C-alpha cells in the first residue's frame, strides 16, 4: 500500500495506500473492493455508482489479471516466458500494447525500467514465502537474461496475429511495475464512457483521481513518510482533476536478513535492490501507465539522473527528509509534516 485517503470535509483520515481528500455523499453506493491483480482494489464512483458499472470495471480488471499474471499458467505472459528462446507466442492486444510500452520506457530510461527483470524477481522472491538473499554467483548467472533489447515484437497484420518472442532461453517478463498503471487507465476509460463525474480508483496504491470533485475543491493526495509509513503523511499533492499518483518506496515490500533490509525495487543492471539515498518517489501524470513505469525507474535513477532525461512531474523524498520536486509541482505541494519542508524545485 502506498498512500491513504483523507476526508477533508469531515477532517478525519481513513487509512488506505493513498490519501485523497474528497467530499462524501449520502446517496453514493459503498465503495466496491475486491482482490485482483495480486492486491486489494477499490473503486468509488460516488453519485454515479451502480452495480452494473462496478461489474464492468472489475470484470475488466480480472481480464487484465488473467492475461498479465506470472503465477497463472494460462496467462499470455506465462506462455511467452515458457517459450523463451524457443518460439514467438501469440498474445492479446492488451499484452502487446503494455509490453511495447514497457520497452519504450526501458529505452527512454536506459534500462532503469526493464520488463525482462523476471529472473531477478524470481531469484529474490521478495513478498513471497521464498524470499532470500541469492548468492553472487546466482545473480551473475541471471543478469545476462535481463535485457529488454532481446524482446522481439511482431505486430502481425491484424489484432489476432500479434506475437512476442524472448530471444534467450531463461528470460522472463515481469510487468508488475507497469500492468496496474495500464489497468488504472482502463478504469478511467470505462468511467469516461459511462459519463462518471468523479471517482477514486485505488489499485493497491496505484491511484487515479478521476473527474472533478462535486464541491469544486481540489483533490488532495498525500504522500507517506517513507521513514515511518504508518504515521502521518509527509506531504500532499493538490490538483483539480484527472491525475494518477503512483509512489515507489523501499518501505513497501521487503524482508530483513542479518539486520539488513532488502526491498523489492531491484536494479536491473546490478541485480540487487537499489541502495541509494532515495526514500520514495511519487510520479504525477494523467497517464497511470506512465506514472507506474517511471516511479520504478526514477527510484533507481535518483533525482539528478531522472531530471536529466524526463519531464514528467516527480517528487523525491530523500533519506535526509529533503525533497526534490519537478517545477510542474510548484504551488501544488502542501507540507503536512514540517520535517519535509525543505523542498527544492527543478
Q: What is the pLDDT along the chain (346 residues), one digit of tens a residue?
A: 344 333 332 222 333 334 444 444 445 577 999 999 989 999 999 999 999 999 999 999 999 999 999 999 999 999 999 999 999 999 999 999 999 999 999 999 999 999 999 999 999 988 888 889 999 999 999 999 999 999 999 998 877 789 999 999 999 999 999 999 999 999 999 999 999 999 999 998 799 999 999 999 999 988 999 989 888 999 999 999 999 999 998 887 767 787 888 888 999 999 999 999 999 999 999 999 999 999 999 999 999 999 999 999 999 999 999 999 999 999 999 999 999 999 999 9
- Residue whose cell numbers read 511495447: 100
**The pLDDT value given to residue 127:** 81
CB 159 within 8 A of CB 3: no
**The pLDDT value given to residue 109:** 97
CB 191 within 8 A of CB 44: no
CB 195 within 8 A of CB 118: no
The beta strands (E) that lie in the chain are given as: 5-7, 12-14, 19-21, 32-36, 39-44, 89-90, 151-154, 163-166, 198-203, 206-212, 219-223, 235-239, 241-249, 254-257, 260-263, 278-285, 314-318, 323-325, 333-335, 343-345
H or E element in which residue 291 lies: helix 288-309
**The pLDDT value given to residue 27:** 54
**The pLDDT value given to residue 204:** 86
The beta strands (E) that lie in 117-275 are given as: 151-154, 163-166, 198-203, 206-212, 219-223, 235-239, 241-249, 254-257, 260-263
Task: List CB contacts of 19: < 8 A, sequence separation 6 or more.
Answer: 3, 4, 5, 6, 13, 220, 221, 222, 223, 233, 236
CB 299 within 8 A of CB 314: no
26-48 burial: b if 16+ Cβ within 10 Å, else e: eeebebbeeebbbebbbbbbbeb
- Residue whose cell numbers read 473503486: 43
Terminal-to-terminal C-alpha distance of the chain? 28
**The pLDDT value given to residue 157:** 82
Q: What are phi and psi of 57, to 5 degrees?
A: -65, -45
Instruction: Measure the CA–CA gap between 57 and 221, rounded to whole angstroms.
Output: 23
**The pLDDT value given to residue 259:** 80
CB 115 within 8 A of CB 125: no
Amino acid at each position: 500500500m502506498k498512500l491513504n485517503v483523507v476526508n477533508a470535509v469531515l477532517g478525519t483520515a481513513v487509512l488506505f495506500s493513498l490519501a485523497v481528500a474528497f467530499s462524501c455523499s449520502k446517496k453514493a453506493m459503498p465503495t466496491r473492493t475486491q482482490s485482483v491483480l495480486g492486491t486489494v482494489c477499490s473503486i468509488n464512483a460516488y453519485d454515479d455508482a451502480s452495480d452494473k458499472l462496478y461489474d464492468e470495471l472489475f470484470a475488466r480488471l480480472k481480464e487484465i489479471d488473467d492475461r498479465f499474471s506470472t503465477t497463472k499458467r494460462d496467462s499470455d505472459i506465462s506462455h511467452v516466458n515458457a517459450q523463451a528462446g524457443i518460439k514467438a507466442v501469440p498474445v492479446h492486444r492488451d499484452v502487446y500494447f503494455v509490453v511495447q510500452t514497457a520497452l519504450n520506457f526501458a529505452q527512454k530510461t536506459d534500462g532503469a525500467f526493464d520488463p525482462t527483470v523476471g529472473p531477478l524477481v524470481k531469484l529474490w522472491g521478495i513478498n513471497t514465502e521464498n524470499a532470500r538473499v541469492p548468492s553472487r554467483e546466482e545473480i551473475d548467472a541471471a543478469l545476462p537474461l535481463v535485457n529488454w533489447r532481446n524482446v522481439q515484437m511482431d505486430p502481425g497484420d491484424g489484432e489476432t496475429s500479434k506475437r512476442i518472442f524472448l530471444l534467450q532461453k531463461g528470460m522472463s517478463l515481469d510487468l508488475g511495475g507497469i500492468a496496474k498503471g495500464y489497468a488504472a487507465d482502463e478504469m478511467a476509460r470505462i468511467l469516461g464512457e459511462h459519463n462518471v463525474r468523479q471517482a477514486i480508483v485505488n489499485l493497491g496504491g496505484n491511484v487515479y483521481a478521476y473527474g472533478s470533485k462535486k464541491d469544486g475543491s481540489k483533490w488532495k493526495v498525500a504522500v507517506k513518510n517513507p521513514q515511518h509509513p504508518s504515521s502521518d503523511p509527509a506531504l500532499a499533492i493538490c490538483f483539480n482533476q484527472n491525475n494518477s499518483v503512483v509512489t515507489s518506496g523501499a518501505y513497501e515490500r521487503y524482508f530483513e536478513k542479518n539486520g539488513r533490509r532488502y526491498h523489492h525495487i531491484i536494479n536491473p543492471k546490478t541485480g540487487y535492490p537499489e541502495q541509494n539515498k532515495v526514500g520514495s518517489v511519487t510520479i504525477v501524470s494523467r497517464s497511470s501507465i506512465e506514472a507506474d513505469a517511471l516511479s520504478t525507474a526514477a527510484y533507481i535513477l535518483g533525482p539528478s539522473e531522472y531530471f536529466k532525461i524526463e519531464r514528467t512531474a516527480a517528487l523525491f523524498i530523500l533519506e535526509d527528509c529533503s525533497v526534490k520536486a519537478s517545477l510542474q509541482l510548484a504551488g501544488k505541494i502542501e507540507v503536512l509534516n514540517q520535517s519535509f519542508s525543505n523542498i527544492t524545485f527543478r
